[in-house]
A and B are shown apart, each in its own frame.
Chain A
Amino acid sequence: DQQVKQNSPSLSVQEGRISILNCDYTNSMFDYFLWYKKYPAEGPTFLISISSIKDKNEDGRFTVFLNKSAKHLSLHIVPSQPGDSAVYFCAASAQGAQKLVFGQGTRLTINP
């Protein structure tokens, strides 16, 4: 039972344009959401997070949007840069659960 789903295995975007990565979840107990970035042969690194009390969080080129009614979140990267090419994982946790549930990841490729 996949509680966190990233339905696009891959995404290709031109340098300078906006990248939009999507994530859906099914567990209504989730109240904290995170995006991680992963390069080959490395562990995931934390990128940005959002609490369920917010619908938007911004950090430089990265913005995460949360739509609780649709159980959907998205990560916007603008402008996209070649160094953004990586696998992006969406993750979620429920208050007090002390553990993250991950999606399958989306491989983002930024083309020059």
Chain B
Amino acid sequence: DAMVIQNPRYQVTQFGKPVTLSCSQTLNHNVMYWYQQKSSQAPKLLFHYYDKDFNNEADTPDNFQSRRPNTSFCFLDIRSPGLGDAAMYLCATSRGGQGNTEAFFGQGTRLTVV
């Protein structure tokens, strides 16, 4: 009964070859997030969707794009992966709206760039 599902768990891609990571949720949450986490560092927010509204972080490289075709699914596209993009990519959801709620995370996708 996983609530936030990321596929694949492990992804190997070639330098410069576009890659897409996927995330789905069964929680019907309004907000979906993509975080990048490199070893021993804090998870870094790349962008998030509130419903269909896309919110990009100011320092997220243009190489990273996202799509949210419906409430349940969100994709992270890396147009031309570099060696520095190797990381764990975490998808998360939250209810949104008034008040504070916690975010629920998927298991992550470990991206390797060769």
Write the residues of chain A forming the contact surface with B, with a CB cutoff of 8 angstroms. Answer: 2, 4, 9, 31-32, 34, 36, 41-46, 49, 51, 89, 93, 95, 98-105
Contacts and interface: CB of A to CB of B under 8 A. Distances in A.
Nearest to A35: B102
B103 interface: yes
Nearest to B30: A98
Interface of B: 4, 6, 9, 31, 33, 35, 40-45, 48, 50, 55, 90, 92, 94, 96, 100, 102-108, 110
Given A43-B105, A43-B107, A99-B48, A51 B100 contact: yes
Nearest to B33: A99
B40 A98 contact: no
A41 to B, nearest CB: 8
B100 A49 contact: yes
A2 B100 contact: no
Given A43-B105, A98-B31, 13 more contacts: A9-B40, A46-B102, A93-B100, A98-B48, A98-B50, A98-B55, A99-B45, A100-B33, A101-B42, A101-B45, A102-B43, A104-B40, A105-B42
A35 to B, nearest CB: 10
Contacts of A101: 42, 45
Closest 5 CB pairs between A and B?
A: A43-B105, A32-B100, A102-B42, A46-B102, A104-B42
Nearest to A103: B42
A103 B44 CA distance: 9
7 contacts: A2-B42, A43-B6, A98-B50, A98-B96, A103-B42, A105-B40, A105-B42
A103 B104 CA distance: 17
Contacts of B106: 43
B40 A34 contact: no
